[in-house]
Chains A and B, each alone.
Chain A
Amino acid sequence: MKRYAYLLFIFGMHLYGFGQGNLQFNQVKIISNIDPPQTVPVGKVWKIESVFSDAASDTYPVDGSGSTQNFFASCGMGAFYFHYYGRYLAINSIPVSFGMHSAGEQMTNLPIWVPAGATICTCTSPTYCARGYSAIEFNIVP
């Protein structure tokens, strides 16, 4: 019986090797915070490599204080308490801070993989929002 289990395991591992996702480079994108919301197309995946600062947030770490704002209303997100110098984007209505922590680390580690159908929104406040971001677009290939 153990022998059969071993054979099944080998066979299963063989199939697993063919079941991995395959990607192919397509293009590099630079999105500004004045661009409209971006939806990752069907059959693609985006890898956000870098998030840009505004001049103000280059020099200040993310502040513990902030204010309740409605930055991503166009993406269907309600009011939220945003921290100063947070360099925010919203991915699928989830606000994500890319600011620098006072300890020197980035609040959210890059890269971020964004699947097909997901929407990335930007906002324009120089005190709170990211200036833009760069992403690599991959095709999902067989």
Chain B
Amino acid sequence: MKFGLFLFLCLTGAVYGQDTTFVKSAYAGSSLTVPQKVTWHIEKAFINNGDGYNLKINPEVFKPIYKAGEKIQIPFYTAEMELLNNQEGVFYFLYIKESFVP
């Protein structure tokens, strides 16, 4: 059983451990802060209002690069929200590429 757990952790580590791209979710109008010693590049972004699909938005609502310690303001409104049936409780999925700053 211990070997099984070891194998499981190794496999998940192999898949995710070296990947610097990850997904963060945040509510419209909220903010995220970039951790120290890294920069963030938002590769793509989606909105979702609880329905079973994500809607891709124009990534130009975000800056190309966010530096360490910088605050990312998640827009309260984007034009793509007009395509949702319900514009309340909208949250964002941000696909972020993280780069380490030496």
Contact A25-B83, Cβ < 8 Å, known A7-B8, A11-B12, A141-B56 = yes
B42-100 residues at the A interface, CB under 8 angstroms: 46, 48, 52-56, 80, 83, 85
Q: Which B residues are CB-close (under 8 A) to A1? A: 1
Q: Which B residues are CB-close (under 8 A) to A42? A: none
Q: How large is the interface on B (under 10, 10 to 19, 20 to 34, 35 or more residues)?
A: 10 to 19
Q: Which B residues are CB-close (under 8 A) to A48? A: none
CA distance A17 to B25 in the complex (A): 10
Q: Which A residues are CB-close (under 8 A) to B80? A: 25
With CB as the reference atom, state the residue of chain B lying closest to A17.
B23
With CB as the reference atom, state the residue of chain A lying closest to B53.
A21
As a 0/1 sequence over residues 42 to 56 of chain A, the CB contacts with chain B under 8 angstroms (1 = contact) are 000000000000000
With an 8 A cutoff between CB atoms, is B14 at the interface?
no
CA distance A22 to B45 in the complex (A): 10
Q: Which A residues are CB-close (under 8 A) to B23? A: 17-18
Which one, B5, B54, B55, contacts A25 given CB within 8 A?
A: B55
With an 8 A cutoff between CB atoms, is B4 at the interface?
yes
With an 8 A cutoff between CB atoms, is A20 at the interface?
yes
Q: Which A residues are CB-close (under 8 A) to B48? A: 20
Contact A21-B54, Cβ < 8 Å, known A4-B5, A7-B8 = yes
Q: Which B residues are CB-close (under 8 A) to A4? A: 1, 4-5, 8
CA distance A23 to B8 in the complex (A): 33
Q: Which B residues are CB-close (under 8 A) to A136? A: 83
Residue of B4, B12, B52, B56 with highest tally of chain A CB at under 10 A: B56
**A-B CB contact pairs (8 Å), 26 listed:** A4-B1, A4-B4, A4-B5, A4-B8, A11-B8, A11-B12, A17-B23, A18-B23, A20-B48, A21-B52, A21-B53, A22-B46, A22-B54, A22-B56, A23-B53, A23-B54, A23-B55, A23-B56, A24-B55, A24-B56, A25-B55, A25-B80, A111-B85, A136-B83, A138-B55, A141-B56
**Given A7-B8, A20-B52, A21-B54: 10 more A-B contacts, CB < 8 Å:** A4-B5, A11-B8, A20-B48, A20-B53, A21-B53, A22-B46, A24-B55, A111-B85, A136-B83, A138-B55
